[in-house]
Copies of this chain bind each other. A is one copy, B any other.
Amino acid sequence: MSRPTVNDIAREAGVSLATVDRVLNARPGVRGKTITAVNEAIARLGYVRDMAAANLARSRRYPMAVFLPDGGGQFVQTVADALDEAAQQAAATRTEMSLIRYPAGDTHHLAALLAGVDPEAVAGVALMAPETPVLRDAVRALRARAVPVVALASDLPNAGCDHFIGIDSRAAGRTAGVLMGRFLGARPQRVAVLAETMLLRDAIERRRGFDEVLQADFPLVEVLPTLETHGATEALRRGLAEILTGTDLGGIYLLGSGHRALTAALEGMGLLGRVVVIGHELTKASRAALESGHIHAVIAQNPGHLARSTLRVLRAKADRQPIDEGQEQLRIDIVIRENLPA
């Protein structure tokens, strides 16, 4: 006994295939009484629509556009790679993807790109970007043209996106905080916080979570003000040196990217492996640093999961289908040397 099909419900309801289809897709031109009859037949037979067959018949394609910042460190590249791989797999379900890089930080440029998106040619849009008023409006406009939009890695809470794919930055910061506190032990210690920039909401939220936890649960730990390096290795080195003149350092919290620069700086100062270092995101650099013991933990989100989730969610939104919350929920990964993925 296999699953009932449209034919079965057509027979059961005493109507034709076409009518069943109209009811199924909520298309106009059917009497209310007929609709009821069909729906009853559907319920009676426990019919569930075969989406594979439906999509085949529609011969619909799902061209998705993903916008990623141009520079943005290794994490962005990791995500880009994961997206490419996910796209290959998703081709099996007619989901295509084009990756568009925009000048990092130039949200006007990105907004212009979004304004140029043709709803006929694009079934969904994903973007990783900081939240600015222009961008917020651009997203709104896009959604007004019935294009689903999801935010990637960095949330755009006020832009009214259809979905956010990523982890809660504040919780990620809290997680980093607990690990830092526990790894340091119960002695009075100082912790430096480094960031390339504090412009992104992610960094701010992480720092907030980090501080919350240390203040509440590890009162012996003093967290220093954030040192913004703006990607300059020299600034990092100078800043660290300055901090070190005053005090002994117990740990370093790396808010964003820059694992490589930090390792280099620490090495120059003979501090490699002598302070607890906790960072974010698993990249080639942070992975190497974990393996060699220069970094002790990394708070991460799985890029493969992020990428697959992006495409799946966009696809579901394009079909106005519900999404499986459980499957799309990204975990806050704690990565140490011992549980590094192969």
A21 close to B (CB within 8 Å): no
Please report the C-alpha to C-alpha distance between residue A183 and residue B186 in the assembled complex, in whole angstroms.
10
Please report the C-alpha to C-alpha distance between residue A52 and residue B185 in the assembled complex, in whole angstroms.
55
Cβ-closest chain B residue relative to A96: B3
A182 close to B (CB within 8 Å): yes
Q: Which residues of B contact A334 (CB under 8 A)?
A: 333-336, 339
Please report the C-alpha to C-alpha distance between residue A50 and residue B61 in the assembled complex, in whole angstroms.
12
By secondary structure, the A interface counts as helix
Whether B182 lies near A50 (C-beta < 8 A) is: no
Quick check: which of A169-177, A230-238, A241-249, A262-270 contacts chain B, the rest being far away?
A: A169-177
A258 CB to nearest B CB, Å? 23
Contact of A185 among B186, B296, B333 (CB under 8 A): B186
Which among A61, A179, A304 has the highest number of chain B CB atoms within 10 Å?
Answer: A179
Q: Which residues of B contact A296 (CB under 8 A)?
A: 182
A233 CB to nearest B CB, Å? 29
Whether B336 lies near A333 (C-beta < 8 A) is: no
Q: Which residues of B contact A53 (CB under 8 A)?
A: 52, 56
Q: A50-B92, A183-B182 are in contact. Are A336 and B175 (CB under 8 A)?
A: yes
